[in-house]
């Protein structure tokens, strides 16, 4: 192992509830059924893919322009909410793990479908910590496609087989395995049958 690639939402910092509230504003405005169960299906998906899942809950049809407008409005709501994020919002154990990885000389990168990764990292004080940020702005295919992780590996100059991924979504675990990387799980990804271990397992192996 030479590099560790972290998903962002749900791994470094939890913004799931903020995504939910932003989508809830949109669905309420459009009179579309949306709840925590549907929101759970959006884990690890891009904005575009998330919207398509949401629109399956209604018989209403939307043009491409209307869909783009909804995505932009959702992101506006979301950006307003994450403006209050701070280093205090880092998930438990993450500061210690990141420090340990740096002390031992591992490359660390972000591999996230979020297009707001840079802004979020700035808010929580980690923008200058990571060696590379691969996110929704530099990929075409979202998870479970391995593109975001393969690009992160390329950005830090480490072969995929020497990278491990930390993920909280099953689609993220799948993407990591497709990339030829080991995948360690937290959160919902603990239910994945193809994970290589848990975040605790990774920490104990360092």
For residue 141, report the phi and psi dihedrals to the nearest 5 degrees: -110, 130
Q: List CB contacts of 186: < 8 A, sequence separation 6 or more.
A: 10, 11, 166, 167, 168, 198, 199
Q: Measured between alpha carbons, how far is 181 from 186 in angstroms, rounded to an integer?
A: 16
Catalytic residue among 9, 16, 135, 168: 9
Kindly list the distances between the CA atom of residue 191 and the CA atoms of 75, 142, 196, 197, in Å, as whole numbers in the listed order: 29, 21, 12, 11
The candidate with the shortest Cα–Cα distance to 149, out of 110, 114, 119, is: 110
The secondary structure of 128-177 as a DSSP string is: TT-SEEE-TTS-SS-TTSSHHHHHHHHHHT--GGGEEEEESSHHHHHHHH
Q: Measured between alpha carbons, how far is 67 from 75 in angstroms, rounded to an integer?
A: 12
Catalytic residue among 7, 16, 135, 168: 7
Active site residue 103: no
Active site residue 135: no
Known catalytic residues? 7, 9
């Amino acid at each position: 192992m030479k590099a560790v690639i972290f998903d962002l939402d749900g791994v470094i910092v939890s913004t799931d509830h903020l995504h939910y509230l932003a989508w809830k504003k949109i669905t309420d405005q459009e009179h579309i059924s949306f709840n925590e169960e549907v929101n759970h299906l959006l884990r690890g998906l891009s904005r575009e893919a998330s919207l398509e899942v949401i629109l399956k809950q209604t018989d209403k049809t939307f043009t491409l322009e209307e869909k783009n407008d909804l995505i932009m409005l959702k992101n506006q709501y979301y950006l307003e909410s994450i403006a209050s994020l701070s280093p205090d919002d880092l998930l438990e154990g993450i500061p210690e793990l990141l420090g340990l990885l740096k002390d031992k000389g591992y490359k660390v990168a972000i591999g996230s479908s979020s297009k707001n990764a840079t802004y979020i990292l700035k808010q929580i004080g980690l923008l200058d910590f990571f060696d590379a940020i691969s996110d929704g702005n530099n990929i075409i295919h979202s998870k479970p496609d391995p593109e975001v992780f393969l690009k992160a590996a390329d950005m830090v100059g480490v072969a995929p087989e020497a990278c491990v991924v930390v993920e909280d979504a099953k689609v993220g675990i799948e993407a990591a395995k497709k990339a030829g990387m080991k995948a360690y799980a937290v959160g919902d990804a603990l239910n994945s049958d193809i994970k290589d271990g848990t975040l605790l397992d990774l920490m104990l192996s360092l």
